[in-house]
Amino acid sequence: MFYTIKELVTQADAAFNGSISELMIATEIETSGRSRDEIISLMAENLSVMLASIQHGMTENKSRTGLTGGDALKLDNYIKSGNTLSDTTILTAARNAIAVNESNAQMGLVCATPTAGSAGCVPAVLATAIDKLSLTHAQQLDFLFVAGAFGLVIANNASISGAEGGCQAEVGSAASMASAALVLAAGGSARQASHACAMVIKNLLGLICDPVAGLVEVPCVKRNAMGASLAFLSADMALAGIESKIPTDEVIQAMYQVGQAMPSAFRETAEGGLATTPTGKRLKSEIFG
């Protein structure tokens, strides 16, 4: 069992030839009592749900409130136009993330990774990596086990809850999990994955949770797109040999401290930020009366 990123990297290197996914599977066997086959089967179900949620969100359908829907399809059409400013890999990840969270807003089935509000980042990055890196089914499952390992440490040492730590704890955690897993999927080391994780969190530190009308739609959907984009950029920096000057465990501790100091108005209460703008208040009134 590991409790810090340092322990995660050390144990993976020492006992599993650098494989964080194998360490995570062993940890799950130890803590849950399930067999290896059961654990892999459950993760395969999660994978299936994730990929299906992307397809479900790629429509013009609106959520019941009308706040979100159709943006993933708009971005998809924009990518296909061939006249984009950003790299298509980044845009594809952003599109996938929007699709998952628009599906969630439409009451579609998503896999909380680590929460429903941040469910777009990991599937978006993984689905993009499947095509970019030609990942096999086994490698796709490895990606999810690695993401889960990093998420486990973050949850135990900081928070994955917007109500407790703001959106830095939701999209920040999700994007860092995805970035770490992406590094290993691309052939990087466990140490490089830890630096990617740190760089994501550092750049989303202090991100508030301010859902308009208290719903997981605005600005949540687009924040997942930005989180998926940041996951790719941080993975590239880590693979280039760039390291976080602040150790990953200290970055996670800083996220916890920031979350604790954050006023309740910025922690999923819809009492601050975008939720209390004139337009935010108007939308709430239109939805709830």
Tens digits of per-residue pLDDT, 69-119?
999 999 999 999 999 999 999 999 999 999 999 999 999 999 999 999 999
- Position 288 scores a pLDDT of 95
Q: Quick one: average pLDDT of 145-163?
A: 98
- Position 38 scores a pLDDT of 98
Q: Quick one: average pLDDT of 205-210?
A: 98
CATH second-level architecture of 11-288?
Orthogonal Bundle (1.10)
The predicted model scores a pTM of: 0.98
Residue 13: left if φ>0, alpha if ψ -120 to 50, beta else—which one? Answer: alpha
pLDDT band at 210 (very low <50, low <70, confident <90, very high): very high
- Position 241 scores a pLDDT of 98
Q: DSSP secondary structure string, 156-207?
A: HHS---HHHH-GGGTHHHHHHHHHHHHHHHTT--HHHHHHHHHHHHHHHTT-
Q: What percent of the chain has pLDDT over 70?
A: 100
| Upstream peptide bond of 114 is cis (omega within 30 degrees of 0) | yes
Three-state SS at 238? helix
Query: What is the H or E stretch that residue 137 is in?
Result: helix 137-157
Domain boundaries, the chain: 11-288
Asked whether the beta carbons of 94 and 71 are under 8 A apart, the reply is no
- Position 158 scores a pLDDT of 98
Asked whether the beta carbons of 57 and 46 are under 8 A apart, the reply is no
pLDDT, one tens digit per residue, over 228-285 is 999 999 999 999 999 999 999 999 999 999 999 999 999 999 999 999 999 999 999 9
Q: Residue 74 contacts by C-beta under 8 Å, 6 or more apart in sequence?
A: none
Asked whether the beta carbons of 102 and 76 are under 8 A apart, the reply is no
Q: Quick one: average pLDDT of 205-213?
A: 98
